[in-house]
Structure 1
């Protein structure tokens, strides 16, 4: 027969039979999921808008930068050229178009550096001792001391000069006549150099442009002098035969002095016409505008509408871009705007180019069209096509403009939605804890009731059996 203590133990170990964990999870999910979906849907849309705004801004940058790069290329600006490269050759420098061409250049004198050389000596080699003491090398007012000891050789002297950082190079040259010590400075009068010695043993290396020291072995092979040019009649001096600053964005390499001979520096004709430029501009503009149209499309419903539908900043961008056709590129002449060259705006904001009107304008005054679209010198009244595009871009992307405000608005919303999601998570964690506490207490009470019921049943069964 089952004991009373065993019956009680067995009854108390029986659970309520209810899966309270699954019940709590279901209730929490029912409360959380609808709210979470609303927030995550808004997050997805907001992220798409931030991405679309960023893409629109980058596309605008790409369009403007490509236009600037295109017009800076030699295809539209021509290639700098010299009519006598044996005297002076030219090349374009990056960053802009050479200005002030054509120009007349005369090379009066080439720049050179001081070169000293000793007489060839059959008794001198790299291992010959130099003598002890200090040689002072002076270049443009700055001095370097060359320390030599009793064991120093000509090779040591060459190494010390080259390692001094003074800008003077030394070498030993050996031929059938013997060995020479050669020293060479940088070009330009300001880079002239001299040598002084503090001991009689080193006097053979002393030299000054005022005159060689008594007992010096050096002779001057070439003097330190500046290049002298006449550019459109103006005399200019340079320390180098490569000149980067005489004409903006133009490098001039002086190859031969030829006083009295004029060299013409000019620009070759562009290999690409303004007609080609206008076709490329309209195509690139339309690519950008079509992308903006897709992003702002209304659609039959929200699922088919563009992600930036109704966004005022993009409407403003499209408005400012559309004004380019009527914006003044010049205040004078017969042709002042893109519209004057045959550019019109379609209903969807894209552009159309009437090449007949453009060709007629090009035939009538090609130089004026070139200066209108790609002026040699840009100004506020004649910015050129690239300058106009830059001003439109700057205005669209200004810090307090609609585009910047929209980007800031959506970034702020992104932070707010993330905070809402975190708050909801915290709330649901608390809600789950509360439900767990409630249903755990219920489980405990149900378990106790069931245990009591089971115990009483066992007792009744035991009494009934004992009566029998």
Structure 2
């Protein structure tokens, strides 16, 4: 801006006049720039909201594209006193009569009693074998029963034995227990002396205190033996954990499709779809109550998304026995374009046609969940539709910034030109005023002329 003040020659406020003229010229354009910039930034935010909503919707589709989601089973027991049961996706529906005849137990063996658990036993070696795997304990001359116990429990080569000392009426005894149950995990101990004595060999002549046992259960009168109280795949896909044995008690196991789990997945899908549609409607619709239009109202992008979604939701899909729609399993579209679930229809469909519902959603490439996942991916993937829209808006913002800068230069030039013009006018007016004053002075000095001031 040129440095000037109130016109010296004319007495005019040149600063004020120029400022007013520049403001009148620039204000409408600047206001439009601000409006456009706000609109573009709002559109970027709206596209971000769409991308987030679609990504969250796509996450809920993951399980529905997996056929195993629909093959899950659940188990129930008539009583839980004697065993518990869990199933995996390979389990087959059925009912079974179970009896727990015997629990698996670990073998326990005891050493010969000694007079003092802290007294030296003598030098030697103890070989401990469990199910064909053995390790050795070297006993020093001053090692006591307690020292041997600690060496067994801390040995890096221990093959499955824990040791403790019981102080009985006959004196302390070292008790060894197999860490695994079952008759295959029996303990064999051999003690040998290296100092010519018999302390080690005599002390570690072991006596069985508790025999190893295998678990025994019957399934529909078929006997099953297990070395562990966890019995796997005695029935395909079923794992039992045995708790208590009783030959006179029967427990009924039922394995059946986990329709409640599938129903939960479908409800989650419906909720996520409705959230997505609500987001789209909010960005592209008109709120009559607030008289506010969505930032993307009239934009082809949300209209295209809604059209694609509604088309996929209303389409029918081939299954092994029939063509199914969402509506045929109790998931219908409301007037607002969201989904709602009729629980009774859905429950009935799950009970009678779970495999068909699985095909409706999870058939590779052609199932509903796959179609929706592909739709979502086209919008949110790197370089996808929403990234392209973001790039377009960014380019518009960049062009707007360039236009602002060009307009600012134009206004600076306009302001400079006005100052030059008004300053030149001020000089002319000042010169005329000076000439007028001089002429008046000369006239006043003529003989016979009476001054106005007099």
Q: For the superposition of Structure 1 and Structure 2, which TM-score range results when normalised by the shorter chain?
A: 0.5 to 0.7
Aligned residue for 1:81?
77
After superposition, the Cα gap between the structure-2 partners of 1:383 and 1:372, relative to the gap in structure 1 and judged at 3 Å, is farther
| 2:321 alignment partner, one of 322, 327, 331 | 331
Aligned residue for 1:371?
351
Per-residue CA deviations over 1:196-229 (Å, capped at 9, x if unaligned) read: 44535699898xxxxxx77733112334454344
| Superposition RMSD in Å | 6.1
Secondary structure of the structure 2 residue equivalent to 1:291: helix
Gapped runs of 5+ residues in structure 2? Answer: 6-13, 420-454
Secondary structure of the structure 2 residue equivalent to 1:398: helix
Matches within 5 A, 1:53-452: 53-59=51-57, 61-62=59-60, 80-82=76-78, 85=80, 88-92=82-86, 99-107=92-100, 109-121=102-114, 123-125=115-117, 127-165=118-156, 166=158, 167-189=160-182, 191-197=185-191, 199-200=193-194, 216-231=204-219, 236-247=224-235, 250-256=238-244, 263-266=251-254, 284=271, 287-288=274-275, 291=278, 294-295=281-282, 297-299=284-286, 304-305=293-294, 307=296, 310=300, 311=302, 312-323=304-315, 326-327=316-317, 331=321, 339-340=327-328, 345-350=333-338, 369-372=349-352, 375=354, 379=355, 381-383=356-358, 391-398=367-374, 401-404=377-380, 408-414=384-390, 417-418=393-394
State the shift of 1:316 in Å.
1.6
Secondary structure of the structure 2 residue equivalent to 1:395: helix
CA distance in 1, matches of 2:327, 2:371: 21
State the shift of 1:241 in Å.
0.2
CA distance in 2, matches of 1:299, 1:119: 91
- The answer on whether the counterparts of 1:103 and 1:232 sit within 8 Å (CA) in structure 2 is yes
Secondary structure of the structure 1 residue equivalent to 2:371: helix
State the TM-score, normalized to the length of structure 2: 0.62
Per-residue CA deviations over 1:315-360 (Å, capped at 9, x if unaligned) read: 322322233xx5466617xx976655666545544457789xx58x
- The answer on whether the counterparts of 2:360 and 2:368 sit within 8 Å (CA) in structure 1 is no
CA distance in 2, matches of 1:435, 1:54: 42
State the shift of 1:397 in Å.
1.9
- The answer on whether the counterparts of 1:243 and 1:253 sit within 8 Å (CA) in structure 2 is yes
State the shift of 1:240 in Å.
1.8
After superposition, the Cα gap between the structure-2 partners of 1:43 and 1:235, relative to the gap in structure 1 and judged at 3 Å, is farther
CA distance in 1, matches of 2:147, 2:331: 74
Aligned residue for 1:41?
39
Per-residue CA deviations over 1:70-127 (Å, capped at 9, x if unaligned) read: x99x9xx8761145x55x322446x769644312335465322232112444x132x2
CA distance in 2, matches of 1:229, 1:203: 49
After superposition, the Cα gap between the structure-2 partners of 1:114 and 1:43, relative to the gap in structure 1 and judged at 3 Å, is same
State the TM-score, normalized to the length of structure 1: 0.60
After superposition, the Cα gap between the structure-2 partners of 1:268 and 1:175, relative to the gap in structure 1 and judged at 3 Å, is farther
State the shift of 1:134 in Å.
4.0
**Which one is further off, 51-60 or 149-158?**
51-60
Secondary structure of the structure 1 residue equivalent to 2:252: strand
Per-residue CA deviations over 1:166-216 (Å, capped at 9, x if unaligned) read: 33211111234432211111224554444444535699898xxxxxx7773
Aligned residue for 1:11?
none
CA distance in 2, matches of 1:430, 1:292: 38
CA distance in 2, matches of 1:231, 1:204: 52
State the shift of 1:150 in Å.
2.5
CA distance in 2, matches of 1:185, 1:116: 9
CA distance in 2, matches of 1:28, 1:137: 98
- The answer on whether the counterparts of 1:81 and 1:90 sit within 8 Å (CA) in structure 2 is yes
Which structure would you say has the larger Rg? 2
Gapped runs of 5+ residues in structure 1? Answer: 1-14, 207-212, 444-468
Secondary structure of the structure 2 residue equivalent to 1:170: strand
Number of residue pairs aligned between Structure 1 and Structure 2: 408
Secondary structure of the structure 2 residue equivalent to 1:397: helix
State the shift of 1:163 in Å.
1.7
Aligned residue for 1:460?
none
CA distance in 2, matches of 1:201, 1:54: 79
Aligned residue for 1:462?
none
- The answer on whether the counterparts of 1:134 and 1:147 sit within 8 Å (CA) in structure 2 is yes
CA distance in 1, matches of 2:121, 2:54: 73
Secondary structure of the structure 2 residue equivalent to 1:383: helix
- The answer on whether the counterparts of 1:227 and 1:241 sit within 8 Å (CA) in structure 2 is yes
